[in-house]
Amino acid sequence: MNAKEYFQKKQAEEAGAGKTDTDKAGVSNADAGNDEGGELIELDARIKQHKRGRRRLIIILTVVAAAVFFAFWFAVNRQTYDSYKVISETERTEETDGTYMWFEKLIIRYTNDGVTAMDSSQNELWQQAYEMSNPIAVEEGSSLAVADKEGNKIYVFSKDGLRGQIWTELPVQSISVSDQGIVEAIIRNDEQTKIVCYDLKGNKLVEAKASLNNTGYPIAAAISKDGKRMLVSYVKISDKISDRVICYNFSTSGQTEAEMKVMDEEYDGILIPTVFFTDDSTAVAAAGDRLIIYKGSDRLEKSSEVAMDRQIKSLLWNDKGIELVLRNTEGDYKYTLKSYSLSGREVSSKDFNEEYSSISLEGNRVILLNDMQCTVYTTRGHKVFSGEFDTSLINVMPMPGINKFLVIRNNTIQTIRLTK
């Protein structure tokens, strides 16, 4: 009996109460109460059973939906594709020429004449004009910096456009940028070399001078994501080569260069051409045959050192992990793609033979280009795509959507979807 049936019965009993005979009138109130109590208990049990059935059905449907989703995800992401379908195509002209990159879910095109931001459909959102001879670009979080290498201009952008402009006293050699827009730059001329951090208005926040006789010559520098620390690799050459890695913490104003120095490590017999931060508490120094990982919130200390038995050909990283391509001198494969966690733990290893002239890491996709050939791996070593185009490739970038890519060719710009 459900609730509706119970109340209908009670209404019928109340309507017939005046017509009861003498025997019915003799039924005690206690007995009636017991009957009603039993019916209510039965009703309550039925309601609870109904609710349990609904909950069980919801759980089953949720599990089935999750299973279908993961089966679909697995089927899509474990496939290897060798062809593609062109979704859209535009002719590459002088107006669409330049270097392309992803930034804050926008397509960025930068040239000697300026920066253009577009949505995923290549609709222009904003543009900033400038004049540069050799523009280079770096991004971190919500900030993009474009500098004129061997020039004196640096522009800082957010997804909404220009945030700041910086003019350096010496020619720019390399830059990095923090999420807040603080720019680190190695600047030099024939007489002097400096590592300088600038705010968005071009004010100097910190300046470290370098000399061959003192610190050594700076070959790489990086600023942390929060803009509070800077890691610099200096090469020293005397009777032997050595490298000195120094971390500066300039979160407190008024410090001298010596007071800002919170780590100073020297490595004999190696050269460290790359340093970078993966998050606010993790930094990496990369030599030709090893990774040195540092951890710490204010000070940095060496956390681990990952030695390689082969030379590193390419090094890529993001806030999820580190990707290495190692050269093989023995065996059937020329290269090995290795993935590491930010703590230095090996995650995956994949041997391959594809030659490449450029390599990039976009999300969890490692993209190798060699003239008209494109190969795409996941950071877990699965080959997603291997195919050849009929004209030279400039850049290939993943786009939002399943297996969609933006392909910059020497004569066209295409949006493609991978197919079997």
- For position 1, what pLDDT does the model report? 52
Q: b or e along 264-293 (b: 16 or more beta carbons within 10 Å of the residue's beta carbon)? A: ebebeeeebebbbbbebbbbbbbbeeebbb
Q: Tens of pLDDT along 103-132?
A: 999 999 999 999 999 998 889 999 999 999
Report how far residue 140's alpha carbon sits from residue 156's, in angstroms, rounded to the nearest whole number: 11
Give the domain ranges of the chain: 130-307
Taking domain 130-307, whether its CATH number is 3.50.50.60 is answered by no
- For position 329, what pLDDT does the model report? 92
- For position 53, what pLDDT does the model report? 78
Contacts of 165 (CB under 8 A, 6+ apart): 153, 154, 155, 156, 202
Report how far residue 294's alpha carbon sits from residue 292's, in angstroms, rounded to the nearest whole number: 7
Pairing of strands 290-295, 282-286: antiparallel
Instruction: Find out whether 249 and 231 touch, Cβ atoms under 8 Å.
Output: no
Report how far residue 177's alpha carbon sits from residue 73's, in angstroms, rounded to the nearest whole number: 35
The mean pLDDT values, 10 residues at a time, for the chain of 420 residues are: 53 56 48 58 72 81 73 64 93 84 94 95 94 97 97 98 97 97 95 93 90 84 93 89 92 74 93 94 95 91 94 95 96 96 95 96 95 96 94 93 92 92
Q: At 15, give phi and psi (nearest 5°).
A: -65, -30
